Structure 1
Amino acid sequence: MSVLFGKRSKKRKSSERSQEPASDPQPVNVDQTEGNYVKHTTFASLKLPQPLIASLKTLKINKPSRIQSLSIPPILLGSHLFGLASTGSGKTLAFALPILTTLSNDPYGVYCVVLSPTRELSKQINEQISIVGSPYNIRSELIVGGGDMVRQSVGVGRKPHFIVGTPGRVRDILGQGDVRLKGCRYLVLDEADRLLSDRLNSGFGEDVMEIRRRCGEGRRCQVLAFSATGGPKVMGMVEALVGGERVVRIGGDVEEKGGVSEGEESEEEGVGEQKKKTNKKVDEDGEDKPTKKAKATAKKQAAIPAGLKQQYIFMPHALRDAYLVTCLQKMVWNGGVKADGEEEEGSGWTLKEESDDEGSGLAKSAVVFVGTCERAAHMEGTLRELGIDCVALHSLLSQDRRDAALGKFKSQRVRILIATDIASRGLDIPSVALVLNSELPRKASDYIHRVGRTARAGRRGTAVSLVGEEDISLVHACEALSGRSMQKNEDIKDKDVLKLLGSVAKASRLTKVRLDEVGFDKLVKKKEQRKEKDRKIRDKLIKRMSKDKKMKRKKKEEGEKEGKGKG
């Protein structure tokens, strides 16, 4: 079994291919109610092979999470699936394990294509599949932008079992080479809401549709879509992707109940009380009764982990940077400065003297989310000027620099990551105990993904959002989607912020000068021009596809009329 997926020994005969069942497997019915939920407490009860179970044990994964327990049976039965579960609940293994299980029956050619919206998430998925599938010697090829296209084309030409990547680059590679996906059994969409909903903004939708068309020509290809957010609109897009076939929906609070893994309970004080306040009301006799609002938001509560503490800080817009620096000083271990005291000399001021690293409850590492690449670069420079060691992650960096930044943060050589929303989806960094929203995102669903970088897999974490007067409506939208209210942060005092105003302003000015010197504004301008060009190309493509559909529909109607006339 250990060399099952080593070198390909011989080609399958055409007669062997023809023996595959022509009819689609009957999808399994999955009831959403807790009473009918089939509880699997072990991977063995899910009928996974022993080599996979042994591989999971070496990773200290001893029992399935609820999303895994609910998703694996219908996938093994051949159903299309849309899985909705909180961040950090184990969605990658929910699709990887059943695919690896069935791979042993047909280990030839490209067996599965996995798509995700970001390079970093694709790389993480590729690593996890390779590690878990190591007993089978599987071959998985990472196909993302920023990499060598020649090397990637050669890798795909070797027909790996898995192709993992971003939609645009995967489509480009498939279009250039002779690789065909006739034998592809699975198409996986991780972060499906982003891949399918943002077709006008990102262009992912058209790329996904083209890849779907290539997958499984001549045989059935299962579509497995997963996300932490998404509603009927995304479900409808998944159904359209499978041509009207039935899609099993796994979602709501059945599989995760707020993100706490099977057998684990959140001990965080106040979280349980918050759920009671949200889900019940007390009548005059003192009895608890569920409210209509509670029923409407029951599924929304599963969007964020139960161990997550949500807080806000109301502040003037002009003091946003000073508040952010104060948060890092008070909430991150040693204020974000290296423990050995080797902070760089910047503006002449550092946080080391005022940092209370002896206290309890300070975060070992933190992710600071910002809205734009310019803001990420500016905050990285400002914090470095103040002696705070940090790295930035945004789309204007080369792939090598993005990998290096993420590597430093994951290994905890650097405690603070300044990132745009490319880091908000899927990245699993267990050490992150604090998420800071320098600005709230324009979409509430992006907020759910941001705060999901902490409190993963039953752990506890804190998410703090800096809120100005113009952000009130965004706060309400985020609270409505998460089903829980943000609490006011009482630890950050205005007097502490005022002490730092001069130093932060000076560091900010120095950073702006340095960014101008290296021509950062030109990089931003080029990016905007490239986005505008891509948008025009997408608009033309969408119009052309729409025109082609109308022509096909017209020809079909004319053919039907001719048939009726002859009859």
Structure 2
Amino acid sequence: MTLSFKDLGISEALVQHLEAIGFVSPTAIQSQAIPHLLASRDVLGQAQTGTGKTAAFSLPILERLDPNNPAVQALVLTPTRELALQVCQSIRSFNNDNRIRVVPIYGGQAIDRQLQRLQQAAQIVVGTPGRVLDLLSRGDLKLAQVNWLVLDEADEMLNMGFIDDVEKILSQAPAERQTAFFSATMPLTVRRLVNRFLKSPITVTIEQPKAAPNRINQVAYLVPRGWTKIKALQPILELEDPESALIFVRTRRTAAELTNQLQAAGHSVDEYHGDLSQVQRERLLLRLRQRQVRWVVATDIAARGIHVEDLSHVINFDLPDSLENYVHRIGRTGRAGKEGTAISLIQPLERRKLRDIERHVRQSLEVRSIPTRTQVEARYLEKLQGELREALAGERMASFLPIVSQLGEEYDPHAIAAAALQMVYDKTRPNWTQADYYPEESSATRDSQAPKPKPVKRSKTSASRNS
């Protein structure tokens, strides 16, 4: 039996609002966490990004806080400013009471503007540890009436060195409060924090690694010896042609180098890492959501705040340091029951890491060789054929029929269509002349894999006309 939000204890008014914005059935983390949070229990939730954690903790808060009290009643801590903004936007979308205000506070933005928002009224504050602690020390943020405190992405927050700040904030919050920690993994540092600050918590665990492979096609490309990964990635991107993709790298320097290479090759791509200013990050996120840029090259920490609907591909240019991070990365595609593709570039010395990944996700990854030029060209022709079918089903085609009719007095219609396709192909195909990007292939292989032109069949009408 599928539970509804009403079954979990959410009020009818809020349920109706959720249904209006498309939230009908709760996810696993929501089904398990919401009843305990509504019952005033502390909760320790282990779940990956994309499982619905934000709604799991924000819906109980929205149900129980006092909209007539302008004081801060709930504090949500996140590791990055991007995630703070995302959580804030999500809570605002869930909120059905215009008296409730949600305010984000984070570094990289003028503090006076955030102070003004806090002074106007803010029942829910979502912020990063550094800025929260700064405002607390100045006396501009008061936690005296905080009843709920949430630590989101707890493992990443501690990995980024915020443990001292987090402990200070938790220590300053009222002892009589409800606390929830959500984390993708449960390292010892998180466990110690739980033992110190949570009271008899209910543990909720969602096993993401078992679910991800069902909807994510995981593929590994073996980088030939002597090749750089940047050289190997180019034909892979030409073959896969991702509609939208996150390309994960280990360092900021690699992000910049790879972005420059891909931009020089004519791809729609930009970089996202810690060296960018807040304004630059927000501008890039907006372009990504509006599909003005197709691919983003990002480091792990910076990418925590990137969440894109219908992301088609995740590409591990560099393998992550931990198996948990691998699952976290690929979990950004294939969401909401949709299919996605996860690609990893594997160098010969990384085969052992590949075996560890396969054991962790309980699935063998298909290992492929770098695509040849012939394979990529055949894929492009297949795509061109699909676009042609769409054009044949459209209405604009009618405006070109007189041209075809006129040319038909001199040429066979099949030849006219083939010539038009050749023009489109020559103007839009990838740069096949860059042979260095493709593995060597024999002439026999090229001949066997090359698309064979179909014989031109002349209609009886055209045959009789030209005879």
Q: TM class by shorter-chain length?
A: 0.7 to 0.9
CA–CA distance in structure 1, aligned partners of residues 98 and 375 of structure 2:
57
Kept after mapping to 2: 8 A contact 1:187/1:221: yes
Specify the structure having the higher radius of gyration (Cα).
2
User: Does residue 1:392 correspond to 2:271, yes or no?
Assistant: yes
Alignment-derived partner of residue 94 in structure 2: 132
- The 3-state SS of whatever aligns with 2:50 is coil
- For 2:164, which of 193, 197, 206 is the aligned residue? 206
Moved more, 415-424 or 472-481: 472-481
Equivalence map 1:175-186=2 (5 Å):
175-186=137-148
Alignment-derived partner of residue 402 in structure 1: 281
- The 3-state SS of whatever aligns with 2:92 is helix
Kept after mapping to 2: 8 A contact 1:305/1:455: no
CA–CA distance in structure 1, aligned partners of residues 150 and 39 of structure 2:
16
Superposed CA RMSD: 2.5
User: Does residue 1:246 correspond to 2:200, yes or no?
Assistant: yes
Deviations 1:417-447 (A, max 9, x none): 1111135436431221101111112222222
Question: How far does residue 231 in structure 1 lie from its aligned partner after superposition?
Answer: 5.4
Equivalence map 1:6-85=2 (5 Å):
41-85=3-47
CA–CA distance in structure 1, aligned partners of residues 218 and 303 of structure 2:
16
CA–CA distance in structure 2, aligned partners of residues 167 and 126 of structure 1:
15
Equivalence map 1:460-499=2 (5 Å):
460-489=339-368, 492-493=371-372
CA–CA distance in structure 2, aligned partners of residues 394 and 234 of structure 1:
25
Equivalence map 1:187-202=2 (5 Å):
187-196=149-158, 198=159, 202=160
Letter in 2 for 1:209: E
Question: How far does residue 93 in structure 1 lie from its aligned partner after superposition?
Answer: 0.4
Question: How far does residue 377 in structure 1 lie from its aligned partner after superposition?
Answer: 1.4
The percent of aligned pairs where both chains have the same amino acid is 32
User: Does residue 1:308 correspond to 2:266, yes or no?
Assistant: no
Where structure 1 has 5 or more consecutive residues not aligned to the other structure, the ranges are 1-38, 259-299, 333-362, 505-567
- For 1:114, which of 76, 79, 86 is the aligned residue? 76
After superposition, the Cα gap between the structure-2 partners of 1:176 and 1:400, relative to the gap in structure 1 and judged at 3 Å, is: same
Alignment-derived partner of residue 229 in structure 1: 185
- For 2:237, which of 328, 331, 353 is the aligned residue? 328
Equivalence map 1:85-96=2 (5 Å):
85-96=47-58
Question: How far does residue 125 in structure 1 lie from its aligned partner after superposition?
Answer: 0.6
Question: How far does residue 49 in structure 1 lie from its aligned partner after superposition?
Answer: 1.7
CA–CA distance in structure 1, aligned partners of residues 13 and 226 of structure 2:
56
Deviations 1:459-497 (A, max 9, x none): 111110001133234334433443433222368348779
Equivalent residues, number: 382
Letter in 1 for 2:364: S
Moved more, 62-71 or 442-451: 442-451
CA–CA distance in structure 2, aligned partners of residues 86 and 371 of structure 1:
20
Letter in 2 for 1:112: A
Question: How far does residue 66 in structure 1 lie from its aligned partner after superposition?
Answer: 1.5
Question: How far does residue 503 in structure 1 lie from its aligned partner after superposition?
Answer: 7.1
Question: How far does residue 312 in structure 1 lie from its aligned partner after superposition?
Answer: 0.9
User: Does residue 1:149 correspond to 2:111, yes or no?
Assistant: yes
TM-score by length of 1: 0.63
Letter in 2 for 1:311: V
CA–CA distance in structure 1, aligned partners of residues 226 and 34 of structure 2:
48
Question: How far does residue 233 in structure 1 lie from its aligned partner after superposition?
Answer: 5.8
Alignment-derived partner of residue 459 in structure 1: 338
TM-score by length of 2: 0.76
CA–CA distance in structure 1, aligned partners of residues 205 and 229 of structure 2:
37
Question: How far does residue 232 in structure 1 lie from its aligned partner after superposition?
Answer: 6.4
Letter in 2 for 1:169: R
Deviations 1:61-93 (A, max 9, x none): 111111101100000111111112243221110
After superposition, the Cα gap between the structure-2 partners of 1:461 and 1:180, relative to the gap in structure 1 and judged at 3 Å, is: same
Equivalence map 1:345-494=2 (5 Å):
363-425=242-304, 427-489=306-368, 492-493=371-372
Deviations 1:389-422 (A, max 9, x none): 1121111111111111111111112111111113
- The 3-state SS of whatever aligns with 2:304 is coil
CA–CA distance in structure 2, aligned partners of residues 458 and 170 of structure 1:
36
Kept after mapping to 1: 8 A contact 2:77/2:128: yes
CA–CA distance in structure 2, aligned partners of residues 116 and 317 of structure 1:
42
Kept after mapping to 2: 8 A contact 1:81/1:250: yes
CA–CA distance in structure 2, aligned partners of residues 424 and 384 of structure 1:
20
CA–CA distance in structure 1, aligned partners of residues 362 and 100 of structure 2:
41
CA–CA distance in structure 2, aligned partners of residues 494 and 238 of structure 1:
54
Letter in 1 for 2:4: T
